[in-house]
């Protein structure tokens, strides 16, 4: 039984300017913002939405997604039904020591960082409505699971995500979350990687998007710039359209090594520099050509 009396009272969360309350039921959440995956809530229509999203996206992966993602996406299980988080966690725990945990939706930064530092990835447990098939405002289970979880099976990327969580707890104390969030945005959500087969996507925001996956790798419109930590922390980003800039890494090892140094002095350095608008290219910057 779960009634109002058991409400631990965590506050709903939104980021940016929104005029709607967040969709999730935060009364179900524990104090660390995790909740049981309420698998019985899903209707036939929800499983159907998941399967249709999954198959549409799977078809696009060859040539566009990085090989580590393609190699691991099957670990999510058969797409006929929305997976049980416990089943995915069992496989993930064996592979890299990570687990996935349910959340009602977006959670506060500190709670998010603490989970990552503990090798737990929060996955929203609800799925978009059929009329939101192509675009959903808040991240849902399809974005969180399909976009983020396959790369957690990669040991190097898995370590990067934990380091990011620890770095986030530190950034909160240094009041540097805005700068660190740009790193997340331009790597974990919208990162591109140069492979022997050409440019590929590894960011979850791209890999879970029907349209942006092709745009990010193939379109001649956006700028694609080599990963540079300071440049990236200076760069603003768009949240309501395809990105106009992407940053390209050579390998997950490069990403891990470039972000290993203490960011404390780097935050100060970056604060002293001008911000760069999304889509801008600075003098002397080399661009990667579309695939």
Residues identified as active-site: 143, 148, 189, 208
Task: Enumerate residues 174-213 that contact ligand PHE by CB under 6 A.
Answer: 183
What is the C-alpha to C-alpha distance for residues 272 and 265, in angstroms, rounded to an integer? 11
Q: Shortest gap between Cβ of 203 and Co ion (angstroms)? A: 9
* 3-class DSSP state of 244: coil
Q: Candidates 62, 262, 284, 286: give the one binding ligand PHE (CB under 6 A).
A: 262
Task: Enumerate residues 128-167 that contact ligand PHE by CB under 6 A.
Answer: 163-164, 167
201 near Co ion, judged by CB under 5 A: no
What is the C-alpha to C-alpha distance for residues 108 and 159, in angstroms, rounded to an integer? 22
204 binds, among Co ion, ligand PHE, none (CB under 5 to 8 A by kind): Co ion
Q: Shortest gap between Cβ of 188 and Co ion (angstroms)? A: 7
Strand partners, 276: 235
Q: What angle do CA 105, 125, 213 make, to 5 degrees?
A: 80
- Strands laid side by side in the 198-201 sheet: 198-201, 192-195, 245-249, 223-226
Q: Candidates 11, 260, 273, 281: give the one binding ligand PHE (CB under 6 A).
A: 260
259 binds, among Co ion, ligand PHE, none (CB under 5 to 8 A by kind): ligand PHE
23 near ligand PHE, judged by CB under 6 A: no
Buried b (16+ CB within 10 A) or exposed e, 120-129: bbbbbbbbbe
Q: Shortest gap between Cβ of 223 and Co ion (angstroms)? A: 22
179 near Co ion, judged by CB under 5 A: no
* 3-class DSSP state of 89: helix
Residue nearest to Co ion (CB): 204
93 binds, among Co ion, ligand PHE, none (CB under 5 to 8 A by kind): none
Q: Candidates 106, 176, 204, 255: give the one binding Co ion (CB under 5 A).
A: 204
Q: Candidates 208, 235, 245, 259: give the one binding ligand PHE (CB under 6 A).
A: 259
Q: Which residues contact 141 (CB under 8 A, 6 or more apart)?
A: 50, 82, 123, 124, 125, 126, 127
User: Strand 245-249 vs strand 223-226: parallel, antiparallel, or unpaired?
Assistant: parallel
Residues of this chain that bind Co ion (CB under 5 A): 204
């Amino acid at each position: 039984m779960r009634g109002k009396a058991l409400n631990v009272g965590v506050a709903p969360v939104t980021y940016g300017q929104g005029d709607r309350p967040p969709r999730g039921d935060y009364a179900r959440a524990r104090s660390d913002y995790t909740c049981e995956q309420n698998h019985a809530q899903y209707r036939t229509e929800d499983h159907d939405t998941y399967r249709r999203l999954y198959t549409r996206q799977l078809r696009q992966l060859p040539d566009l997604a990085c090989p580590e993602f393609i190699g691991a996406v099957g670990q999510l299980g058969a797409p006929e039904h929305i997976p049980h988080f416990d089943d995915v966690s069992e496989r993930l725990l064996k592979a890299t020591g990570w687990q996935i945990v349910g959340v009602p939706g977006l959670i506060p930064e500190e709670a998010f960082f603490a989970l990552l530092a503990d090798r737990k990835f929060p996955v929203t447990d609800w799925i978009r409505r059929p009329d939101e098939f192509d675009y959903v405002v808040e991240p849902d289970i399809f974005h969180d699971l399909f976009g983020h979880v396959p790369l957690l099976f990669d040991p190097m990327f898995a370590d990067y995500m934990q380091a990011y969580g620890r770095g986030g707890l530190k950034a909160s104390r240094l009041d540097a979350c805005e700068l660190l969030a740009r790193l997340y945005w331009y790597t974990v959500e919208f990162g591109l990687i140069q492979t022997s087969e050409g440019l590929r996507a590894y960011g979850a925001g791209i890999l879970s998007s029907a349209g942006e996956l092709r745009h990010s790798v193939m379109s001649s419109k956006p700028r694609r710039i080599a990963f540079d930590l300071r440049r990236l922390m200076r760069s603003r980003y768009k949240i309501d359209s395809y990105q106009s800039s992407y940053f390209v890494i050579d390998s997950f090892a490069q990403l891990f090594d470039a972000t290993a140094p203490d960011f404390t002095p780097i935050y100060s350095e970056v604060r002293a520099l001008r911000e760069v608008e999304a889509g801008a290219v600075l003098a002397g910057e080399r661009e990667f050509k579309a695939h």
